[in-house]
């Protein structure tokens, strides 16, 4: 059950309290929300409740006890979501973030972004779609199937692994994060470019959380990219150079604005 209450608290006052105690009203309101959620959870223990970040400031760590999933924002644009999910991850696990692939042009920003990018961002959360599948092309529907297969395959890793923030979307043209399994034998690395550029330097991304002694097989879009030790990937870095450095790597398409890639790392030994 997705519980929206998109209405901020205004004219906040209680006749039950004296004037000097009116400052308690906001706190008492939140305690009342907790109490209501508690009753619902006890009476309907098999229902998953999803809360919402807007209206009344109900998205707080305490609420995760009652509603372990939250809709972080109605702004579902694939670019804006990089900031929303990156920032939210400082306090909340990514498994708690409702993250959906929505339409393009986006209904709020009117921005046009690739379906792949929207899917790559949403994969690192409680993944879903909110669009009319009948309006997608045959090629887009096949990509949706592939995205769903990917998320189902790696959902446990995404939701239970250790999440690392690598490049902040608030600091530049790139966003990067990764998630590593508890045994450090498996990892996913997501890398996003906001705007395309030209004649750029070769780039490397320094990874975190891997086992230095393990050899990891690197795969992107079912294409093997070689094998590298954890020590290499963390201290020398993972090559993230793209066509903007002067040439298109063999077998790859030129990148564009709002571009993304997800790299899978699997331990070989």
What residues are labeled active site?
4, 74
The distance of Cα 143 from the centroid of its chain, to the nearest Å, equals: 18
Task: Give the span between the Cα atoms of 89 and 178, in whole angstroms.
Answer: 12
Comparing C-alpha atoms, which of 152, 118, 140 is closest to residue 258?
A: 118
| Contact in structure between 176 and 192 (CB atoms under 8 Å) | yes
Listed in order, strand segments (DSSP E) in the chain are 50-52, 69-71, 97-102, 126-130, 162-167, 174-180, 186-193, 204-205, 215-220, 223-229, 238-239, 259-267
| Contact in structure between 107 and 130 (CB atoms under 8 Å) | no
Task: Give the span between the Cα atoms of 236 and 218, in whole angstroms.
Answer: 15
């Amino acid at each position: 059950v997705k519980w929206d209450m998109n209405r901020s608290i205004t004219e906040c006052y209680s006749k039950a309290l004296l004037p000097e105690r009116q400052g308690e009203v906001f706190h008492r309101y939140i305690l009342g929300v907790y109490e209501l959620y508690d009753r619902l959870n006890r009476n309907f223990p098999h229902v998953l409740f999803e809360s919402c970040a807007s209206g009344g400031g109900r998205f707080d760590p305490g609420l995760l006890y009652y509603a372990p999933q939250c809709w972080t924002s109605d702004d579902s644009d694939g670019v804006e979501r990089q900031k929303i999910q990156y920032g939210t991850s400082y306090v909340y696990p990514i498994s708690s973030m409702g993250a959906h692939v929505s339409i393009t042009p986006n209904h709020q920003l009117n921005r046009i972004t690739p379906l792949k990018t929207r899917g790559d961002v949403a994969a690192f959360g409680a993944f879903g779609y909110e669009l009319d599948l009948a309006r997608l092309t045959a090629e887009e529907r096949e990509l949706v199937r592939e995205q769903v297969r990917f998320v189902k395959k790696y959902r446990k890793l995404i939701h239970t692994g250790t999440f690392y923030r690598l490049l902040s979307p608030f600091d530049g043209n790139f966003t990067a994060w990764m998630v590593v399994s508890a045994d450090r034998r498996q990892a996913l690395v997501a890398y996003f470019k906001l705007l395309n550029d030209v004649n750029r330097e070769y780039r490397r991304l320094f990874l975190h959380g891997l086992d230095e002694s393990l050899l990891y097989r690197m795969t992107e879009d079912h294409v093997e990219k070689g094998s590298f030790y954890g020590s290499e990937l963390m201290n020398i870095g993972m090559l993230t150079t793209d066509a903007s450095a002067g040439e298109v790597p063999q077998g790859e398409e030129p990148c564009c604005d709002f571009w993304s890639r997800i790299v899978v790392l699997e331990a070989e030994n």
